[in-house]
Amino acid sequence: MKSIVFELGLLAFFVSAVVFGSQGASLFDMIAQAFIVFIGIEIAAAAIFAMISPRPRAQEAEVHDNLSDSQPVKRRAPAAPAKA
């Protein structure tokens, strides 16, 4: 999944670099704008893949069991002072 996200970002970077370059932007501006597009696509794709990917069932059951089986902690009464 990480490689797919990275490859989408690279594709967006190079396509946007060509588009910004054809518009007559300077080299620095073209690379800076393409890098901004790359970061945006990386974040968006990572978020989409995180929402789509299924979570392992074992972890969900473990969290559920830990929450439902929790019981209050019993505290001891303070000890009486020792008599001398």
| Cα diameter, the chain | 94
> Based on the number of CB atoms within 10 Å of its own CB, is 35 exposed (0-12), middle (13-18) or buried (19 or more)?
middle
Based on the number of CB atoms within 10 Å of its own CB, is 46 exposed (0-12), middle (13-18) or buried (19 or more)? Answer: middle
- Per-residue pLDDT tens over the stretch 43-77: 999 999 888 887 766 555 555 555 555 566 666 76
For 8-31, how does the pLDDT look when each residue is reduced to its tens digit (9 = 90+)? Answer: 999 999 999 999 999 988 999 999
